[in-house]
A and B are shown apart, each in its own frame.
Chain A
Amino acid sequence: SQTIHQWPATLVQPVGSPLSLECTVEGTSNPNLYWYRQAAGRGLQLLFYSVGIGQISSEVPQNLSASRPQDRQFILSSKKLLLSDSGFYLCACSTGGGNQPQHFGDGTRLSIL
């Protein structure tokens, strides 16, 4: 089964600084990849998803971007962080067709000061 690695686990950044969060997947090939954010007291909000290398779909307008330079690598970036970017960022993957669940990494807790 697949394993999803996210790092760092915790990150504190000042407002206006850049961001790069990395997610890598092991144990599968050609997965669908997802970035979610969970704000305090809220559910999981889908930010981006990718069905292949270089293919990114954005779900919500924001100052974040995503890239997929390799099959099992998904990167979440920002050029200038806002206070509202604070939250818990989760990477997920799913494989195959049909009714297959998404599996999540352990997330990155991002605090903006």
Chain B
Amino acid sequence: DQQVKQNSPSLSVQEGRISILNCDYTNSMFDYFLWYKKYPAEGPTFLISISSIKDKNEDGRFTVFLNKSAKHLSLHIVPSQPGDSAVYFCAARGAGFGNEKLTFGTGTRLTIIP
């Protein structure tokens, strides 16, 4: 049962344009969502997160949007740069004290075209 889904395995975007990566979830108990970036042969690097009490969080070129009613979140990168080429994972955490486990999507490979 895939509770966190990234339906686009790959995405190509021109340098300087906006990259939009999407993620859907099914578990309404998730209350904290994260995006990670991963280069080959390296561990994922934390990018940005959002709590379920918010609908937007911004950090520099990265913005995460959360639509709780649709159980959907997205990561916007603008402007896209060649160094943004990587695999992006979204992840979600359930509510409750001590519940630190994350459920990951299968990832989207982003390629920025110079």
Q: With both chains docked as a complex, state the minimum distance between the C-beta of B10 and any C-beta of chain A, in angstroms.
A: 12
Inter-chain CB contacts under 8 Å: number? 56
Q: Does B34 interact with chain A (Cβ within 8 Å)?
A: yes
**Stretch among A65-73, A74-82, A98-106 lining the B interface:** A98-106
Q: Which residues of B are interface residues toward A (Cβ below 8 A)?
A: 4, 6, 32, 34, 36, 41-46, 49, 51, 89, 91, 97-98, 100-107
For window 1-39 of A, CB contacts with B under 8 Å fall at 4, 6, 9, 32, 34, 36
Known: A43-B107, A45-B104, A104-B36. 6 other contacts (CB 8 A): A43-B106, A44-B44, A44-B89, A46-B102, A90-B44, A103-B46
Residues of A close to B32: CB separation below 8 A: 99
Residues of A close to B36: CB separation below 8 A: 104
- Number of A interface residues at 8 Å Cβ cutoff, please give it: 28
Residues of A close to B104: CB separation below 8 A: 36, 43-45
Residues of B close to A9: CB separation below 8 A: 41
| CB closest residue in chain A, given B48 | A101
Residues of A close to B41: CB separation below 8 A: 9, 106-107, 109
| CB closest residue in chain B, given A99 | B32
**How many angstroms from the CA of A49 to the CA of B99 in the assembled complex?**
11
Closest 7 pairs between A and B when the two form their complex, measured CB to CB: A104-B43, A43-B106, A44-B104, A101-B46, A43-B104, A106-B43, A99-B32
